[in-house]
Structure 1
Amino acid sequence: MIGIVNYGAGNIFSLTAALDRIQVGYGMINNKEDFDQFDRVIIPGVGHAGAAMSKLNESGLVETILSLQKPVLGICVGMQLLTSYSEEGDSELLSVFPLKTLHFKNRVTLKVPHMGWNSVKAEADCPLFKDIPEDTYFYFVHSFFIEHNPVYTGATCNYGIDYSAAIQKDNFYGVQFHPEKSGVHGEQLLINFTKI
């Protein structure tokens, strides 16, 4: 069973629809006690990282998230929250990963936000991409990106510059794209998460 952290900053409907399609059970995490009901956790997120972090702090769930030993997956802003800092709102984040979330502006000449389908090059050791072809396209919508660091990068995307499309460290994982909106390969990634 997957627990979805319900802190008011996630596009939960698209995610639950995808989990329904792949017939994976899920429920909402609204308080600390709810974590015990689930063997995996997803942190969704859309919008502004600073605002999302404020909502997460208000939820009272931060300490529990940081102490989790079970697999955790952050999606989009949920992934960015796992880093230490975001230029969006000049925000201190969860610091699970010693990485920064940066703005594409002034770093690429391409249109911002990065919106649409782009190919992802996965690292061989990242279990999220098992049985997913190399250079598969996933769906992105974001103006901020996580700096590329080979120690933590589970997959790379290029949008004018290389950045981390997926990160991994111990039991924590994150993807910048939206697997719930990325067709059969996105669904495969969610299935893979249930097997980590």
Structure 2
Amino acid sequence: MADINDIMWPGTVAKAKAIQSKLAQQVTISQYQGEIRVIAGIDVAFPNKGKTTRAAIVLLQYPSLNVIEQVAYESPTVLPYIPGVLSFREGGVIIKAMQQLQNAPDILMFDGQGIAHPMGLGIASHIGVILNIPTIGIAKSCLTGDYNEPDTFKGAISDLSVRGENIGYVVRTRENVKPLFISPGHRITKEQAVSLALECVTKFRLPEPTRLADKLSKSR
């Protein structure tokens, strides 16, 4: 069973990776069966020259994508940028922001990785296991895996694979723009993850939940 403390920095990279390895074994990639009424978009920014960590959460009704709640939570940055263990830098503030919500989201959509992570545990998977809630990773760049560039038209998709196993998809959300890397985080399938992400795309590159969370995280 995941512990809330498993998102806090354990002191060394080696200990952090040991926690990641333990939690990665608890990730469940399975069909989401429930009704989707509210989706949360989550992003984190580091204003004040990186001295502050700001987690932003925007709740949207589904499928209308109307915004029903927004929360931003700030605290002093506790950890420098260390590739591969970023969820320990961001996770505590995300949990604090989640605790401020008045409405309960059905699915969390992160600006970050799901299982498409060297340890199989990006921020979406990490938070998903700890809170035991369905999550999706919507990343702007690739951390791990092999893929062919998808076609240039909106909605074009190619497989993202690790050692021959499909772990997610590379998705063109706008014509002739850079693709996104979409993978399940926890308690949802990769097919559901990419389908839901595309349903949340309007005229922008990012799906509305993470686009609005990104905007809120960077607002003054």
State the TM bucket, normalised to the shorter chain. 0.3 to 0.5
Which fold has the larger relative contact order, with Cα–Cα distance below 8 Å and residues 6 or more apart in sequence?
Answer: 2
For the pair shown, the structure with the greater C-alpha radius of gyration is: 2
Tell me the TM-score normalised to structure 2 length.
0.31
